Structure 1
Amino acid sequence: MDIVAVPPRRSRNPRHRAAAGALVAAVVAAIGALGVPGAEAAETLLSQGAPAVASSSENPGVYAAPAAVDGDTGTRWSSAFADPQWLQVDLGASSTVTRVELNWEAAYARSFTIQTSVDGSTWTDATPATAGVVGVQSLAVSATARYVRMYGTERATVYGYSLWEFKVFGAAGTVPGGGSLGANVIVFDPSMSTASIQSQADTIFRQQESNQFGPQRYVLAFKPGTYNGLNIQVGFYTSVLGLGQNPQDTRINGDITVDAGWFQGNATQNFWRSVENLSLYPVSGADRWAVAQAAPFRRMDIHGDLNLAPAGYGWASGGFIADSRISGAEQQYSQQQWLTRNSIIGSSLNAVWNQAFIGVKGAPASSFPNPPYTTIGTTPVIREKPYLYQAGGAYQVFVPALQTNASGVTWANGNTPGTSVPLTQFYVAKPGDSAATINDALAQGLNLIFQPGIYHINQTITVTRANTLVMGLGYATIIPDGGVTAMQVADVDGVKISGLLFDAGTTTSANLLVIGPNGSSADHAANPTIVQDVFFRIGGAIAGRATNSLLVNSNNTLIDHIWAWRADHGTAGTVGWTVNTADTGLIVNGQNVTAYGLFVEHYQKYEVRWNGNGGRTYFLQNEQPYDPPSNASWRSGANGYAAYQVADGVTSHEAWAMGSYCYFNVNPQVHSDRGFEVPVTSGVKLHNVFTVSLGGVGVIDHVVNNTGGPAQGSATVPVTVVAFP
């Protein structure tokens, strides 16, 4: 090809540039006094200080994209010496764009267009191809967009494109806060008759009792006061809650029941239901809450016993309790495993494999493995989950304060410490809302509540503001379409995400929820981000795919009860080794991350991967994938993957009360080398861990690394390691 000599670039003397900038500014001011064609009296400068990126920079340290939106006519963006090039600004929310003003340096565009986009990836021309001019150039635009860019196709000089300023004018979009919580939030009042309340609750239960993969979602909310003679049976995707500030404000003389009649007395599939913030006086003296995973029991005041097993003491596989008081016995009976955190109990009855108590007053003494109790007196750092309540007839969200070295409940001696946020400071998302609308609300500074329902999104929901509250009601379910990441949180303080179900879409997503970008480094110890009652599903309802479910990059993040589940059963065509593919449930890269209550099951590689130092896990329940066709197809060079892997470079990590089970029903000849894989170093410690083969269907050869014998045989007896190393 022909080689064209490029003349030396003209002077970069900053004094010359400043003088030129001042001259241009003076000319612009004079023109402005006369009025600029296309300008509107009410228009607003939207772009100044907004995030800006570019296709290239002649010198990123001097001529970077943000210099074109900083309001300083002595600084500029300059591109590489090639075509095409672009400069893009993110307005932060969907906005009405009326005018674009460009202040060109001598290296201007012979031909360019102004383009707009709602998502930063699909662009529309807002102007025809236009010739640039040295100095200020104003172009009328009529568009609604979040992103605006100059797209240069031909340079006027041998140099790049160079802009002193790139200004976008218009009107910022506004999304209203507050509003209705939706028709599927059913609110009861003490003035209503018992028969009316019971009838509505029964109607919803009949629909939801066995509706394991249906789209319906409900909240049954009780205003403060006393209710008599109720038995509220709780089915799939149903949340029952009190609307008082504290549990004692809403009293039910009756029962809130979960049993397993729909599944012949087997409670191992009683998923996705919850109860919160009520005082309960059971009719018989004992309430029954026979649940499996993703069924949190929070802020409950039980005046009597709590029976966690189904009628007939069939199989059960739960479960999670927090910030609750049980005056009588917490009756584990046939529950394989359970975590109770920061609560008060009268006593504990029975244990199967892994019963853990963290910060629980009245808990039994640690005695793992016989009986298999793991008891830790205080919880090192926690913030209880934000909750909805009413004050003066208006909805508010209460945000409990951060606690350290805590035990017992937050509300026993008065109001839970913390702060209230009115509903008017939330955008109430409705099924059918686009991700663009939700992002506009977040960019506007609103918090976010999802009404019960299903939300398909085609772009990532982006949380960038510190202390943002994101809450789902009634198992609000987010499905990412087109392989996008469903939600991304910036590396900021104090974001609180709770009550959501992320259901992988049919195109593989790299992650479903990401806390902090790669390389996050800020210290959030004083105000950590927290993920609570957040659930992930790959397959079951749809043939979903996601490489990883939850990625934690931010330091000091708290995880308080998640269930990440690659489905082992579901509607036809949604489950299979090559159908609902998913490598990993949780990856932790952040430092000093603490997890309470990890339920992670059936992923196809390492199910939990911990790469950051200072990590702590209190309780893990895991089942390895049921369906490897063979060891050769599962992994070459080793037999399967450990459920919980701490990376070789980690020097400090500690975990308690963790179990990994196998049930290789597709091929019972499959072996897994181990349940847990960790570096052998004094700073990495495991306490009270075990493996078990369910009915002898498959074998886990070791517990930790090569320590512990094989879990095998039809007797279903755990193999335990009390301390490692």
Structure 2
Amino acid sequence: MVPRAAAPVVRLVTLLAMLVWGLAAPAHAAPQAAAPPNPFGPNTYVFTPDMPQAQIQATVDRIATQQKDNQFGSERYALLFAPGTYGTAANPLNFQVGYYTEVAGLGRNPGDVTINGSVEVYNRCVTNADGSTSCYALDNFWRSLSNMKIALAGKSGCQASANFWATSQAASLRRVQVIGGNLSLMDYCSAGPQYASGGFIADSDLSAGTTINGSQQQFLVRDSKLGGWSNGVWNQVFSGVENAPAQSFGQPGGQPYTTLPRTELSRERPYLYLDASGQYQVLVPTARHQSSGTTWANGPTAGTSIPLSDFLIANPATSGRDIDKALKAGKNLLLAPGVYDVSSPIHVKRADTVVLGLGFPTLRPTGDSPVLHTASVPGIKVAGMIVDAGPALTPTLVQLGDCGKCAKGSNGDDPTTLNDVYLRIGGASAGRTQDALTVNASDVVLDNIWSWRADHGTGVGWTTNTADRGLVVNGDRVHGLGLFVEHYQKDNVVWNGEDGRVVFFQNEFPYDPPSQAAWSASPTIKGYAAFLVSPGVQRFTGWGMGAYSFFNQGVDIHATRAFQVPVTPGVRMHDLLTVFLNGSGGIDSVVNGVGAPVTQANSGQASQVVSYP
């Protein structure tokens, strides 16, 4: 891994942009006989199979070009495809997906939308200080592809070998089927070094080809079906995946594969679809216990459909008062693309409320309060959004529940669920918080969470984008399925609840401690933990968990251990690892003093602990 590239200048959302909301629709949205309505406002495009393909191609290409290098810009897009077929083998639809772009089919099932062509992400090339060029996927964040079938067509040369999805964190693939070729998670056709640091796939059928993992340092595939999987690097986890590679973590000469035959508890992300009468619905999938394979293998995904009329469709100009009024009246909330300044918390108090983001809406507090606060009630679903820290210090950015370990309002058959929620401190602008995400509720599923104290961009520095912890869990029976938590200044994750279960965890320690004294838990413990299970916890299980170091200040910084857990029969850790990426210092042990240290002497080589204690 190399240091991530410097960010472009941030472009903040302007008052003018909010004032013109709804006054102009995208050119493609002119009424056509078969076109469904577009109630979501500008920057959401609804395509139909009867639209001229040249018009669709021009639109998606224009957005891709604009967003290709727009890592910290304010523009947000949703590209939605109504049921039907787009492109042909002779005239394919091929396009790329840039920053802050959601591409999704509007069918009830993935096969209802077919694209003959490709929907892709390639390496991003940057100019280095010495004038040379490096191409990699390390910064390919904040984009998504879901709910469609891709029939590969229309490419030539090296790029004809796969549909490329060369991304890192916050770039999920959900409910995707690829036929006619492979899916590659790295871009081996572009110039090097071709690094990638992802990633997440769920509820997808990739059995028609091989998934080329390549240079992906770590990856989680959940409740899907594979045709094959290549390579491993450091940490590859498969949970409830048909035809997954066999368990081989820690075996001599084996790949670092952690394979669980079933997922103990999961709930897929809510999604938009068009019903038979052409009306928009939001499907809320049913929670699954001991699951494997896709939710749609034997018919439509089980769940509850909610008509769009039961949602407030908000935009950045919608007042907090109007949002609170709608939620109190029993409405759900859909956040259209844009950047939202939030002056007071969005309070979600009703059980089973859905808060769904479309096109990576980004919420940022203007004061010292959280952006989102839910009551201790069951079944709340929050999905598809970015939460930025603001300039004032907040105790937390998102708080689930009020009562810590108490079981008030929880329901294991109807868990509160966060899907594809990304928290960011710095990067787009200066921001501070104490704890990014606080879980004070029980029976919760955290499904693909990236909690990131920025290591590059605007407002980045040890005393600038300050944040103690990326995730604090106080509730019981909380399941983490894909936790990416990076660069926080104290224990990156603190787990206080009982009966927690984490399947896949990825961490990088902060790059920028100025001294060992500035980054130490106590006089006898150097640094902090990547993941701390608190001393009083009696029951916790973790699988496939890794932590990396890159201390880049030229100071000899060490972490005594990456993982700290109580030594008790009910706490079991499986398939842990540490890696020294670059810089100085290192990690002295994997867990509680067990596991070989990683330093410059064994850079890039994982230190593994297969089971602890």
Q: What is the one-letter code of the residue matched to 1:719?
A: S
Q: Please say if 1:429 is aligned against 2:314.
A: yes
Alignment check: 8 A CA contact 2:515 2:555 kept: no
Deviation at residue 448 of structure 1 after TM alignment: 0.3
Task: Specify the code of the residue in structure 1 equivalent to 2:363.
Answer: I
Q: Which runs of 5+ in 1 are unaligned?
A: 1-177
Does residue 1:545 correspond to 2:432, yes or no? yes
* Larger RCO of the pair (alpha carbons < 8 Å, separation 6+): 2
Partner of 2:517: helix, strand, or coil?
Answer: helix
Are 2:258 and 1:382 aligned?
Answer: no
State the secondary structure of the residue aligned to 1:231. strand
- In the TM superposition, 1:318-357 aligns within 5 A as 318-326=198-206, 327-357=208-238
Separation of aligned partners in 2, 1:322 and 1:232 = 22
List aligned pairs for 1:292-441, cutoff 5 A: 292-303=168-179, 304-311=181-188, 312=190, 314-326=194-206, 327-369=208-250, 370-391=254-275, 392-441=277-326
8 A Cα contact 1:436 1:459, kept in partner: no
| Pick aligned residue for 1:181 from 28, 33, 40 | 40
Q: Provide the residue aligned with 2:607 in structure 1.
A: 719
Is the 1:179–1:424 contact (alpha carbons within 8 Å) kept by the matching residues of 2? Answer: no
Residue number in structure 1 paired with 2:101:
238
Question: 445, 456, 466: which one pairs with 1:569?
Answer: 456
- Post-superposition Cα deviations, 1:47-93, rounded to whole Å, max 9, x if no partner, equal xxxxxxxxxxxxxxxxxxxxxxxxxxxxxxxxxxxxxxxxxxxxxxx
CA distance in 2, matches of 1:668, 1:349: 37
Say if 2:551 and 2:583, in contact at 8 Å, map to a contact too: no
Secondary structure in 2 aligned to 1:206?
helix
Alignment check: 8 A CA contact 2:38 2:46 kept: no
C-alpha distance in 2 between matches for 1:191 and 1:535: 35
Output one character per residue of 1:452-496: Cα deviation in whole Å (capped at 9) or x when no partner: 001101111100000000001111000011111111100101000
Partner residue of 1:47? none
Q: 1:655 Cα shift?
A: 0.1
- CA apart distance, 1:552: 0.7
Matching residue's letter, 1:431: P
Alignment-mate amino acid for residue 610 of structure 2: V
Equivalent residue number for residue 208 of structure 1: 67
Q: Percent identity?
A: 48
Paired with 2:431 and 2:605, the residues of 1 have a C-alpha distance of 34
Aligned-residue Cα RMSD (Å) equals 1.3
Partner residue of 2:351 out of 466, 470, 480: 466
What's the CA shift for 1:716?
1.3
Show the counterpart of 1:16: none
Residue aligning to 2:138 = 268
Is contact 2:376-2:403 (8 Å) kept? no
Q: CA deviation at 1:672?
A: 1.0
Distance 2:585 2:177 in 1: 42
SS at 2:125 equivalent: helix
Match of 2:164?
Answer: 288
Paired AA for residue 239 in structure 1: E
Q: Do 2:267 and 2:288's aligned partners in 1 also have CA atoms closer than 8 Å?
A: yes
Larger mean Cα displacement after TM superposition, 332-341 or 258-267: 258-267
Q: Which amino acid aligns with 1:325?
A: D
What is the Cα deviation at residue 695 of structure 1? 2.9
CA-CA distance at 1:676 after TM superposition? 0.3
Deviations along 1:239-266, one digit per CA (max 9) or x if unpaired, are: 0000111100000010011011334321
1: CA distance, partners of 2:442 / 2:382? 16
Q: Which amino acid counterpart does residue 150 of structure 2 have in structure 1?
A: L
CA contact (8 A) 1:630 1:667 kept: no
| SS of match in other structure, 2:561 | strand
Tell me, in whole angstroms, the C-alpha distance in 2 between the residues paired with 1:667 and 1:575.
Answer: 18
- 1:527 paired with 2:408, answer no
Return the alpha-carbon distance in structure 2 between the equivalents of residues 590 and 357 of structure 1: 26
Contact 2:386–2:422 under 8 Å retained in 1:
yes
Give the residue type in structure 1 aligned to 2:507. N
Contact between 2:387 and 2:422, CA under 8 Å: does it hold in 1? yes
Answer yes or no: is the 8 Å Cα contact 1:532–1:561 preserved in 2. Answer: yes
Letter in 1 for 2:492: E
| Residues 515-546 of structure 1, C-alpha deviations (whole Å, 9 max, x = no match) | 10034432421211001100000000110101
1:697 CA drift (Å) = 3.4
What secondary structure is seen at the aligned counterpart in 2 of 1:554?
coil
Indicate if the aligned counterparts of 1:210 and 1:262 stay in contact, CA closer than 8 A.
no
1:588 maps to a residue whose letter is V
Q: Which whole-Å deviations, capped at 9, do the CAs of 1:579-629 have from their partners, x for residues lacking one?
A: 000000100010111110000000000111000110000000100000000
CA distance in 2, matches of 1:581, 1:182: 35
In 2, the alpha carbon distance for the partners of 1:524 and 1:603 equals 31
User: What amino acid sits opposite 2:170 in the alignment?
Assistant: A
CA-to-partner distance for each residue in 1:620-678, whole Å, 9 max, x for gaps? 01000000001011225131101000000001000000000000001341111111000
Q: 2:393 is aligned with what amino acid? A: T
> What secondary structure, in the 3-state scheme, does the structure 1 residue paired with 2:55 have?
helix
What is aligned with 1:194? 53
Matches within 5 A, 1:638-717: 638-695=525-582, 697-713=584-600, 715-717=603-605
Moved over 6 A (4+): none
What SS does the aligned partner of 1:226 have? Answer: strand
1:254 to 105, 114, 117: 117
Query: Normalization by structure 1: what TM-score?
Result: 0.74
Q: Distance in 2 between matches of 1:257 and 1:686?
A: 36
Q: Which residue of 2 aligns with 1:623?
A: 508
Q: Write the distance in 1 (CA, Å) between the matches of 2:595 and 2:300.
A: 48
Residue 142 of structure 1 corresponds to which residue in structure 2? none
Structure 2 counterpart SS, 1:576: coil
Match of 1:131 in 2: none
- Is 1:516 matched up with 2:516? no
Letter in 2 for 1:680: V
Question: Which of 453, 469, 472 is the aligned partner of 1:587?
Answer: 472
Task: State the alpha-carbon separation in 2 of the partners of residues 440 and 678 from structure 1.
Answer: 44
Q: Is the 8 A contact 2:549 2:582 kept in 1?
A: no
